[in-house]
Amino acid sequence: VESYGLPSDTCPVPTSECGACVIDALPHLGACFISSSMPCDGSVMASSYTSRRFKDLPTYHLTFPVRYEDESIMNSAVQDIKGCIKFIEEQTGAKWSWDAYFAAMKRFNKETQYELQKWEVNQTPYPQLIGPCYELFRKWNYEMDGGIDPRILKTFEKVDELMMEAYENREEPWRGKMRHRAIVWSVPAHYYANFSNWLANCWGINVLVEMESLNYTRPLETEDKEEALKDMARLYERMVMRRHTNGGYDHVLTELWRQVEIWKPDIVIMYQHVSCKNMATLNGLFEDQAREHGVRLIWIEHDLMDPRTVSRKDMRSKVNEYMRTVMREEPLDPSLVDFEDDASW
Ligand code: SF4
């Protein structure tokens, strides 16, 4: 991909997107192409790369301000959204419907309430939906749906009912394995989504929430059109990856200590994505400030989508080492400490 113009130091997310373009693995269809989010230089490159590849598809790049806390830039973000709506109307012939949008946002607001209910339960001494079970539901139901499909709400209701019943009964998500409360910080390894299941079963480390879940949760406007566009901009500015890696170190560094206060973990699983320059700049500050805050960080290197650089076994060995040497603990299940899974993907 580099010979087609991608810098050599981008992470596997933009690199694989560009690689898919080069080998023609992306479906070439549709009326137009919209890029959004762009949390880093690699993503910006990947967006321009894709639009160069699909020359016949007109492209619109949503380019929201980086310093998103500054509301004086709101007008520019709203103009960007208006431009995108106009672009879609011109390219597809479809017309924007405020009724459809507000109906979807009302559902999305309800989904957000259910999401916050999970946070509330997991912040108590009796967390219920933990690890990948919580995380995958969030990504594939809450974030991907965004209120569009009315059927999804039924799933939320069902999950909420099960969770509240288990909470009332003070049940444990992993019975007899609740030794430590943990939160995950920084970019997680996509090739090891169930790493936190291993953490719970091998060492009794229970992951209550991941950084990438802690995005925008304010209810979105469902009556006033101008305010609705502002809320949409706020949501996009704070989307996955962008919420923490843009707008200054406060959003990821100081934010960790704020979240530690709220979730009360005794361990922070600190992912170190070896190719993410956004996060790498802060490693030393995390380390120094963790000591001041009395927080235990377990640093775990990974390469996001490429287990050939850092294998799952290497990731586990960092925890094994820390738990034995620093915590002086023995595993709950010694058969899980060391096993081969390099050939699984
Ligand atoms: S993980 Fe880091 S480098 Fe990769 S796309 Fe996200 S912000 Fe960019």
Q: Where are the beta strands (DSSP E) in the chain?
A: 33-35, 59-61, 180-185, 205-210, 267-273, 297-302
Cα 6 to ligand 1 centre (Å): 14
Ligand 1 atom 8: the closest Cα is on which residue? 40
What CATH class does 2-92 carry? alpha beta
| Residue 344 confidence (pLDDT) | 64
Segment among 48-57, 110-119, 250-259 with least mean pLDDT: 48-57
Kindly list the distances between the CA atom of residue 142 and the CA atoms of 85, 139, 146, 148, 239, in Å, as whole numbers in the listed order.
Answer: 23, 6, 6, 10, 13
Residue 98 pLDDT level (bands cut at 50, 70, 90): very high
The answer to whether the CB of 187 is under 6 A from ligand 1 is yes
Greatest extent of the chain over all pairs of C-alpha atoms, in Å? 65
Give the contacts of 29 (CB within 8 A, at least 6 positions apart): none
Residue 279 CA, closest ligand 1 atom number: 2
Average pLDDT over residues 324-344: 93
Which of 39-48, 146-155, 320-329: highest mean pLDDT?
320-329
Residue from 187, 191, 274, 301 to probe ligand 1 pocket by mutation (most atoms less than 8 Å from CB)? 187
| Residue 275 confidence (pLDDT) | 85
Contact 307, 343 (CB under 8 A): no
Domain boundaries, the chain: 2-92, 98-336
**pLDDT > 70 in the chain, percent:** 99
Domain 98-336 listed as CATH 3.40.50.11900:
yes
Helices (H), 66-194: 74-92, 98-122, 131-137, 144-145, 152-168
Average pLDDT over residues 317-342: 96
Strand partners for 61: 35
User: How many CB atoms lie under 10 A from the CB of residue 318?
Assistant: 18
Same fold, 2-92 and 98-336: yes
What tokens were used for 193? 């989504």
pLDDT in tens, 198-248: 999 999 999 999 999 999 999 999 999 999 999 999 999 998 888 998 889
Residue 317 pLDDT level (bands cut at 50, 70, 90): very high
Residue 274 pLDDT level (bands cut at 50, 70, 90): confident
The answer to whether the CB of 278 is under 6 A from ligand 1 is yes
User: How many CB atoms lie under 10 A from the CB of residue 11?
Assistant: 22
Quote the CA–CA distance of 314 and 80 in Å, as a whole number: 43
Indicate if the alpha-carbon torsion angle 112, 117, 122, 128 is positive or negative. Answer: negative
HSE toward the beta carbon, residue 248, CA cutoff 13 A: 7
| Per-residue pLDDT at 345 exceeds 70 | no
Quote the CA–CA distance of 167 and 128 in Å, as a whole number: 7
Quote the CA–CA distance of 238 and 214 in Å, as a whole number: 10
The answer to whether the CB of 40 is under 6 A from ligand 1 is yes
Quote the CA–CA distance of 319 and 267 in Å, as a whole number: 11
